[in-house]
Amino acid sequence: MTKQYFGTDGIRGRVGESPITAEFMLKLGWAAGKVFSEMGRGRILIGKDTRISGYMFESALEAGLSSAGVDVSLLGPMPTPAIAYLTRTFNAQAGIVISASHNPYYDNGIKFFCGQGRKLDDAVEYAIEAKLGKTMATVESDRIGKVSRINDAAGRYIEFCKSCFSSSHNLKGLKLVVDCAHGATYHIAPSVFRELGADVIEIGVSPNGLNINDNVGSTHPQGLQAKVLEVGADFGIGLDGDGDRLIMVDELGEIVDGDELLYIVASYLQQQGHLGGGVVGTLMSNLGLEQALLAQGIPFVRAAVGDRYVLAELERRGWQVGGESSGHLLCLNVTSTGDGIVAALQVVAAMVESGKSLRELKQKMTKLPQRMINVPCPATVLSAPAVLAGVKHIETRLQGRGRVLLRASGTEPLVRVMIEGEDLALVDGLAEELAGIVATAGAT
């Protein structure tokens, strides 16, 4: 079966264009409410990031849910992982996030969490889509859901984040910069690190509904790099608009990406005896990460691109740590979903425990040169004989010291051509060569 609306990370698109409209959100709230009410009476939490459209969609979802007889609790602007956490701690039936993560303000989306703070099973998403095809009808007046607001949600989540950092350590004497991308962590992240004792310089903390992710945050780290150098900070923390992704910047202003952060966290937990298995990356994870982990005796496997697939592989193997190069890290030893603040605290714990700087810790892993080229063409080109022959030829030239990856985009008519190896010039040349083969095959 193919889902009509739900993708790998909920429902997302441009505001005002189907399905990201107020009318659809009203119906979606009703459909979800009907599905969950059939499982038993409970309440559903709704949180959002700082996009101007979030208020509109919050109201529409609230109306739809209550018309289906479901009680609703509003959280206001909150990071995506906070909503997962609060869904668990309030014993709610589900949590709804209104966010398009790292996308610009004119996009928005909906993501659901089940009562355990994890993404919905496929069966539940199929059931919601089936209800969307039904005629909307309001329950009897005495059964309409009640709506309330949880006023201490931010404080609860701040305390949870702090609890993820050992009480035997603190951050006194450390100066750090936190970039909140004018997003959902603007009133959370600085407080977490400040209350743990750090000297915090904050940027990206003035949301106006339109500036989320606008040249700030984990996807635009230049401002964070500059501020770290300007104030002489020990390191910088860059979050995205909904707070589930993390990149960091060392004291020299150099970016520490998701692969390097994943290596630091896994190595730290291994040394503490708390890793509990291996590490899950994705097809895009740098080969240097795999090599560095294997050198320490840490198993490493790759899942398809997307935190949903990383999580599924972790659960299948009973492991705890995984993530993507983009900085979406999963630390299931402390929380149920990707959490930028919690992941940063795991990295900082490694720094404090070892007495080493972020730069020193990341230097234990050597990233291999990687080049990716997006080629506009249909996914069917992946099975073209010329492309298959080209891949085999390039793998031979890499002599086992690199990787070739061809992957169709899930959102655009593109094929992503990625080459990885030890020699940058060779990698660049091979990537251009293979991209040309793919483009030619796609044009025929």
Catalytic residue numbers, as ranges: 101
- Name, in order, each residue with C-beta under 8 angstroms of 273's C-beta and a sequence gap of 6 or more: none
Q: At what angle do helices 340-354 and 153-163 cross, to 10 degrees?
A: 30
Q: What is the phi-psi region of residue 323: left when phi exceeds 0, alpha when psi lies from -120 to 50, beta otherwise?
A: left
Q: How far apart are CA 139 and CA 57, in angstroms?
A: 21
The torsion angles phi and psi of 233, rounded to 5 degrees, stand at: -75, 155
- Grouping H, G, I as helix, E, B as strand and the rest as coil, residue 85 is helix
Q: How far apart are CA 166 and CA 164, in angstroms?
A: 7
Q: How far apart are CA 311 and CA 150, in angstroms?
A: 29
* Whole-Å CA distances, 177 to 212, 216, 320: 18, 13, 28
| First-last CA distance in the chain | 31
- Name, in order, each residue with C-beta under 8 angstroms of 139's C-beta and a sequence gap of 6 or more: 67, 68, 69
Going through 39-128 in order, the beta strands assigned E by DSSP cover 43-48, 71-77, 94-98, 107-114
